[in-house]
Chains A and B, each alone.
Chain A
Amino acid sequence: MTVLRTAVDPASAEFAANRAALLEKIADLDTEHAKAVAGGGEKYVTRHHDRGKLLVRERIELLLDPGSPFLELSPLAAWGTDYTVGASVVTGIGRVNGVECVINGSDPTVRGGASNPYTLKKVLRANQIALENRLPVIGLVESGGADLPTQKEIFIPGGQMFRDLTRLSAAGIPTIALVFGNSTAGGAYIPGMSDYVVMVADRAKVFLAGPPLVKMATGEESDDESLGGADMHSRISGLADYFAVDEQDAIRIGRDIVGRLNWRKHGPAPKPDPAPPLHDVEDLLGIVPTDLKVPFDPREVIARIVDGSDFDEFKPRYGASLVTGWANLHGYPIGILANARGVLFSEEAQKATQFIQLANRADTPLLFLQNTTGYMVGKEYEQGGIIKHGAQMINAVSNSTVPHLTVTMGASYGAGNYGMCGRAYGPRLLFTWPAAKSAVMGPAQLAGVLSIVARQAASARGQQYDEAADEQMRNYVEKQIEEQSLAPFLSGMLYDDAVIDPRDTRTVLGIALSAVHSAPVQGATGYGVFRT
């Protein structure tokens, strides 16, 4: 047991500047989140309420256990696109009748809850989280189906939504659909593929084809209720297992269903009564420099997120640019890998490889705290085998089977993003701090590389290099790369699960760790061939 001390000086000018800059980013984040919450806007929200319906977040609030946390996932989905921020669906992890579930509710105020390509990505990501972490899925269904102008992007891949539901079911993960409104055509397979279906009287509309299409197809005269009403489905077709008199009744029944799942988490329970960190979580705002080129000590972050600020560092004297060690977070044991000085050298890569294997031996989940500019380049390092050593680390990360959680605190560039368990390496959940950036390399470096390559090409052709055009090109590229490496943009692309206030990191990781322990925690027994 080693209690971390702090060297942070909250009275320093640097701290104040860092804090002010980050608070501004957090305010921007709140503004973007508010757009998602506003859904389709006042007019559609009013119309929805006037129809006696609850908004999707009101439904979720009623579904969740009072006072329990709700970790909303991908709230910035579709950020930076023409679609509404949030992509007309709310997904998240919350506790229902004592059971942590993935909740997935369409927002009918946004184009009738229709799915666009980002909606699809967001829903599939939520399903993946449910499957990997063994979390029951509750769908709050009221969607007009596919957003027709973008059908080419969603019709064919969209089939996965239904496939996921039955695969979840096959994996023993319950799926529950509470149908509040439209769920027609393809959407009818959401209840169709769910283990439990509740339909709301006079609201639920679940059929393959509505009256006009039926008339066109067979000439039959019909109406909504006889084709797909809650009363019909609960009495005649049997598609509805429960008939709810209204929305609150549907949610009540949904909670009762979860209460009867006899659900048990398969991961080990946390140690009881975890101690909070000894150092003030507010300091996290002042720790990260505004300029990502300036490194910071990740122990200052660890000291503010782990239980009792208690961190036992592994191999502290070797490969010191990467901090590795053991701690508990909300009572869950974890291994932490955190970048200390951005660059990963061979020693750091080898240390990480060993540490990841040790964590797998001990069935200990891993937390990656990213602030990396990538693996070291240059003749000396190439000759020293940096590729081999980086590959060892990536091999270990890729084949590790204990749950991984990743937080991008600052920079996440190049293959460092891979080795430190970026999105493609399947962390169970990945969160980003508001000022973080991620790209193949830094914008200036990338523009500079393009400039050098162009200059070499011109020279090879014996042409005069157009310096003015080069500068214009560099400025444009730098600006574009900068924009595309920012947290909201990447979150909008679904490259993380949420951008979070750094002060919420311990809470978010606690919720995440609790959720991942719904599934068994078991270390890897085999890896790819380690090139030595």
Chain B
Amino acid sequence: MSITRVLVANRGEIARRVFRTCRDLGIGSVAVFSDPDADAPHVREADRAVRLPGAAAADTYLRADLVVAAARRAGADAVHPGYGFLSENAAFAQAVIDAGLTWIGPSPEAITAMGSKIESKKVMAAAGVPVLGELDPAALTADDLPVLIKASAGGGGRGMRVVTDLDQLAAEVERAQAEAHSAFGDATVFCEPYLSAGRHIEVQVMGDGHGTVWAVGERECSIQRRHQKVVEESPAPLVERVDGMRDALFDAARAAAKAIDYTGAGTVEFIADDAGRFFFLEMNTRLQVEHPVTECTTGLDLVALQLAVADGERLAQDPPVPHGHAIEVRLYAEDPAADWAPQSGVLHRLAVPGVTSEFAVDSAAAGLRCDSGVGDEATVSVHYDPMLAKIIAWAPTRAQAAARLAAALAGAEVHGITTNRDLLVNVLRHKAFLAGDTDTRFFDEHDVFAPLVADTAPFALAAALAIDAGRARTLDVPSGWRNVLSDPQSLTLGGHEVRWRVTRDGLQGHDGVELIRAAPHEVVLDVDGVHRRFAVHRYGELVHVDTADGGARFVIAPRFVDPSDQLAAGSLLAPMPGSVVRIAVEVGQRVTAGAPVLWLEAMKMQHQINAPADGVVSELPVVVGEQIEVGAVLAVVEPDAATEEDRQ
């Protein structure tokens, strides 16, 4: 191979994924990093790393000029774009080629052809690939609803809006344009019919530029939130079920790729109905996030193939035959119960039990793979995508893969940040999912939002006992020893006021619960005759308690409250970190309950902060453009004095 050193123009798990293959192939690696990523695992793992000054993606990972300069400076002779950022930017691909470097991806022409969703549909229709017709927003009638507004340059669900009401159309188009501009630098949007109950089916293709185009296998990614995939698998249950669908899909995918002389790895995405009819959505001219499910079922290393093809090698005549079933979930730092609000902060720990491989193709018949871009104590910032890791299970059957993945997730330790972990386990164990009965409305139709642990009381007790066991002792005597017994020990953990005492007769105050042993990181309780093991981790005042069946987190309430620390009533706190984009009020202004006070932009989405009650704005400590940390006071609304009736 002529490639000796690859720069990955990306961050996080995908950068690590590419580095892994580079290591396996004996190829050198170069990372680029923004300032917040200076200590990120992908930077530590690369042989060489080049700083891209700044934090925002637009100043760093989206700066084609800086990335090309970095490749030259670090001695790279090839550039891998990963996914997102510049991966589908034809100008960047061209700049890499013009710099005399090897571009690991399709030609700029192919990228351009597929870059405009509007244009690409025309090309596909001409090639005989089934497509959905485009709609003119101005000519829409109620019969056309619902429709989908999409960013032409988009991906990842950004700039995508579903419209079900004609009155909202104009506003939604405007918002989609704003988001598209913010995310992709291109405000162009288009409108198409929205298949509200469709299935998302995609085909992995690989072309070698010598005439061979593989359709390596399909993936189903119907379970989505906010048009972003959450669960992906291969093979697709729908395709398994409908006779002849796979052949038709693969033919369409190969036709699509051939129509634009596609080289390298790409994905042709379709929307399908339960009858197996499918329509071209778009083609992603890059490696997909969910590529591991294909690797796990085929044994291929898609990144290695990308490098080989970029180096001019030929593919074999036919791809390998997939075997078994693989399911991937995306672990996001987000709160599904709070409208999927992205979360940021410090990820103290991410530990998934039973992982057999990382970033690697594993040809075993069954296994568990974890591709994570974050290390312990990683700061998850507002600047980038909130995906923490991808966890993939594969096994001979779908049911086995789902069970293994669900168990691994339920026993995982994910600390510091709220994630969608519990939701993922609920999905993987849901009867509709297990029946292969999934479409893009899955989260609208199924309640999978309950936490795994309903009764957190034993978890709080375990946390209290572990905290107690971890206390520094100057004298090795029983904790809280008293010669005259009066009040129990107590600790307030979240909403639990845990009261207990351990005497020579054992744990007191908890009927049906016996203390088997307590150590700072592990507590074993006998609950109604069953020994249960609780793993406990503490980070300052935050405590995580995990079991094989899910976990709970608690914040230790302070024993004492310093009166000078008290917040004024009516304070509006930032629900997440972000920047203030607009302020609607002034100090002294009267507001009614629910009226907007200001807007925060975080994770490319705008969040409206409303007045909690009728009253007067008494404090407004922020200004437009200010970066806000979670929990910061944004404004204080002094509520109107309660009426005499209210008090009664």
Q: Does B431 contact A (CB under 8 A)?
A: no
Q: Does B504 contact A (CB under 8 A)?
A: yes
User: How far is A25 from B487 in the complex, measured between Cα atoms in Å?
Assistant: 23
Known contacts: A58-B487, A249-B563. The answer to whether A69 contacts B482 by CB under 8 A is yes
Bits for A54-66, please: 1 = Cβ < 8 Å to B, else 0.
Answer: 0001100110001
Q: How many residues of A contact B (CB 8 A)?
A: 37
| Contact indicator B476/A57 (Cβ below 8 Å) | no
* Other-chain contact of B491, A37, A66, A251, A511 (Cβ < 8 Å): A66
Of all chain A residues, the one with the shortest Cβ separation from B478 is A507
A494-512 contacts to B, CB under 8 A, are: 498, 500-501, 503-504, 507-508, 510-511
Q: Which residues of B are found within 8 Å of A62, using beta-carbon distances?
A: 559
Q: Does B483 contact A (CB under 8 A)?
A: yes
A1 CB to nearest chain B CB (Å): 20
Known contacts: A249-B563, A503-B504. The answer to whether A514 contacts B474 by CB under 8 A is yes
* Other-chain contact of B560, A61, A71, A248, A503 (Cβ < 8 Å): A248
Q: Which residues of B are found within 8 Å of A75, using beta-carbon distances?
A: 483-484
User: How far is A147 from B483 in the complex, measured between Cα atoms in Å?
Assistant: 28
Q: Does B477 contact A (CB under 8 A)?
A: yes
| Contact indicator B468/A67 (Cβ below 8 Å) | yes
Q: Does A252 contact B (CB under 8 A)?
A: yes
User: How far is A330 from B478 in the complex, measured between Cα atoms in Å?
Assistant: 13
| Contact indicator A67/B473 (Cβ below 8 Å) | yes
Q: Does B479 contact A (CB under 8 A)?
A: yes
Q: Does B486 contact A (CB under 8 A)?
A: yes
| Contact indicator B486/A37 (Cβ below 8 Å) | yes
A266-324 contacts to B, CB under 8 A, are: 274, 276
* Other-chain contact of B483, A249, A498, A514 (Cβ < 8 Å): A498
User: How far is A67 from B469 in the complex, measured between Cα atoms in Å?
Assistant: 9
User: How far is A330 from B475 in the complex, measured between Cα atoms in Å?
Assistant: 7
Q: Does B481 contact A (CB under 8 A)?
A: yes
| Contact indicator B560/A252 (Cβ below 8 Å) | yes
Q: Does A68 contact B (CB under 8 A)?
A: yes
Known contacts: A66-B471, A67-B471, A245-B563. The answer to whether A274 contacts B476 by CB under 8 A is yes
Q: Does A36 contact B (CB under 8 A)?
A: yes
A48-99 contacts to B, CB under 8 A, are: 57-58, 61-62, 66-72, 75, 95, 98
| Contact indicator A70/B482 (Cβ below 8 Å) | yes
Q: Does B567 contact A (CB under 8 A)?
A: no
A82-141 contacts to B, CB under 8 A, are: 95, 98
Q: Which residues of B are found within 8 Å of A498, using beta-carbon distances?
A: 483
Q: Does A388 contact B (CB under 8 A)?
A: no
Of all chain A residues, the one with the shortest Cβ separation from B490 is A61
| Contact indicator B560/A249 (Cβ below 8 Å) | yes
Q: Does A341 contact B (CB under 8 A)?
A: no
User: How far is A362 from B485 in the complex, measured between Cα atoms in Å?
Assistant: 38
User: How far is A70 from B489 in the complex, measured between Cα atoms in Å?
Assistant: 12
| Contact indicator A71/B483 (Cβ below 8 Å) | yes
| Contact indicator A72/B484 (Cβ below 8 Å) | yes
User: How far is A255 from B563 in the complex, measured between Cα atoms in Å?
Assistant: 15
A172-219 contacts to B, CB under 8 A, are: none
Of all chain A residues, the one with the shortest Cβ separation from B480 is A67
| Contact indicator A508/B473 (Cβ below 8 Å) | no
Most buried by A among B480, B482, B486: B486
Of all chain B residues, the one with the shortest Cβ separation from A500 is B483
| Contact indicator B562/A252 (Cβ below 8 Å) | yes
User: How far is A330 from B473 in the complex, measured between Cα atoms in Å?
Assistant: 12
Bits for B353-382, please: 1 = Cβ < 8 Å to A, else 0.
Answer: 000000000000000000000000000000
Interface size class on chain B is 20 to 34
Q: Which residues of B are found within 8 Å of A455, using beta-carbon distances?
A: none
Of all chain B residues, the one with the shortest Cβ separation from A72 is B484
Q: Which residues of A are found within 8 Å of B476, using beta-carbon distances?
A: 274, 276, 330, 510
| Contact indicator A37/B475 (Cβ below 8 Å) | no
Bits for A130-157, please: 1 = Cβ < 8 Å to B, else 0.
Answer: 0000000000000000000000000000
Q: Does B584 contact A (CB under 8 A)?
A: no
User: How far is A507 from B486 in the complex, measured between Cα atoms in Å?
Assistant: 18
User: How far is A276 from B478 in the complex, measured between Cα atoms in Å?
Assistant: 12
Q: Does A423 contact B (CB under 8 A)?
A: no
Known contacts: A66-B468, A249-B560. The answer to whether A510 contacts B485 by CB under 8 A is no
Q: Which residues of A are found within 8 Å of B485, using beta-carbon distances?
A: 30, 33, 37
* Other-chain contact of A57, B478, B487, B504, B563 (Cβ < 8 Å): B487
Q: A-side binding surface: helix, strand, loop or mixed?
A: helix
| Contact indicator B486/A251 (Cβ below 8 Å) | no
Q: Does B1 contact A (CB under 8 A)?
A: no
Bits for B558-585, please: 1 = Cβ < 8 Å to A, else 0.
Answer: 0111110000000000000000000000
Q: Which residues of B are found within 8 Å of A57, using beta-carbon distances?
A: 486-487
Of all chain B residues, the one with the shortest Cβ separation from A513 is B475
Of all chain A residues, the one with the shortest Cβ separation from B486 is A57
| Contact indicator A70/B481 (Cβ below 8 Å) | yes
B562 CB to nearest chain A CB (Å): 7
| Contact indicator A66/B484 (Cβ below 8 Å) | no
User: How far is A33 from B476 in the complex, measured between Cα atoms in Å?
Assistant: 25
A82 CB to nearest chain B CB (Å): 21
User: How far is A98 from B474 in the complex, measured between Cα atoms in Å?
Assistant: 9
User: How far is A140 from B4 in the complex, measured between Cα atoms in Å?
Assistant: 76
| Contact indicator B474/A95 (Cβ below 8 Å) | yes
Of all chain A residues, the one with the shortest Cβ separation from B558 is A252
| Contact indicator B468/A248 (Cβ below 8 Å) | no
| Contact indicator A511/B504 (Cβ below 8 Å) | no
| Contact indicator A507/B481 (Cβ below 8 Å) | yes
Q: Which residues of A are found within 8 Å of B563, using beta-carbon distances?
A: 245, 249
| Contact indicator A67/B484 (Cβ below 8 Å) | no
User: How far is A511 from B560 in the complex, measured between Cα atoms in Å?
Assistant: 26
| Contact indicator B482/A68 (Cβ below 8 Å) | no
B476-518 contacts to A, CB under 8 A, are: 476-487, 489, 491, 504
* Other-chain contact of A72, B483, B560, B561 (Cβ < 8 Å): B483
User: How far is A67 from B470 in the complex, measured between Cα atoms in Å?
Assistant: 10
A505-532 contacts to B, CB under 8 A, are: 507-508, 510-511, 514
B630 CB to nearest chain A CB (Å): 27
Q: Which residues of B are found within 8 Å of A61, using beta-carbon distances?
A: 486-487
User: How far is A255 from B561 in the complex, measured between Cα atoms in Å?
Assistant: 13
| Contact indicator A504/B475 (Cβ below 8 Å) | no
| Contact indicator B560/A69 (Cβ below 8 Å) | no
A281 CB to nearest chain B CB (Å): 9
B497 CB to nearest chain A CB (Å): 14
User: How far is A98 from B475 in the complex, measured between Cα atoms in Å?
Assistant: 11
User: How far is A33 from B475 in the complex, measured between Cα atoms in Å?
Assistant: 25
User: How far is A307 from B561 in the complex, measured between Cα atoms in Å?
Assistant: 41
| Contact indicator A514/B475 (Cβ below 8 Å) | yes
User: How far is A498 from B487 in the complex, measured between Cα atoms in Å?
Assistant: 19
B235-257 contacts to A, CB under 8 A, are: none
User: How far is A507 from B477 in the complex, measured between Cα atoms in Å?
Assistant: 6
Q: Which residues of A are found within 8 Å of B471, using beta-carbon distances?
A: 66-67
Most buried by A among B476, B478, B559, B561: B476
Of all chain A residues, the one with the shortest Cβ separation from B561 is A248
Of all chain A residues, the one with the shortest Cβ separation from B468 is A67
| Contact indicator A67/B482 (Cβ below 8 Å) | no
User: How far is A67 from B520 in the complex, measured between Cα atoms in Å?
Assistant: 13
Most buried by B among A251, A500, A504: A504
Most buried by A among B473, B477, B487: B477
| Contact indicator B480/A36 (Cβ below 8 Å) | no
| Contact indicator B483/A504 (Cβ below 8 Å) | yes
User: How far is A489 from B504 in the complex, measured between Cα atoms in Å?
Assistant: 27
Q: Can you pick out 29 interface pairs between chain A and chain B where the beta carbons lie within 8 Å of each other?
A: A33-B483, A37-B484, A57-B486, A61-B487, A62-B559, A67-B471, A67-B479, A67-B480, A69-B477, A69-B478, A69-B480, A70-B481, A70-B482, A72-B484, A95-B474, A98-B474, A245-B563, A249-B563, A252-B559, A252-B560, A276-B476, A330-B475, A330-B476, A330-B477, A500-B483, A503-B504, A507-B477, A508-B483, A514-B475
Q: Which 5 A-B pairs have the closest CB atoms?
A: A252-B560, A69-B481, A57-B486, A72-B484, A67-B479
A interface, CB within 8 angstroms of B: 30, 33, 36-37, 57-58, 61-62, 66-72, 75, 95, 98, 245, 248-249, 251-252, 255, 274, 276, 330, 498, 500-501, 503-504, 507-508, 510-511, 514
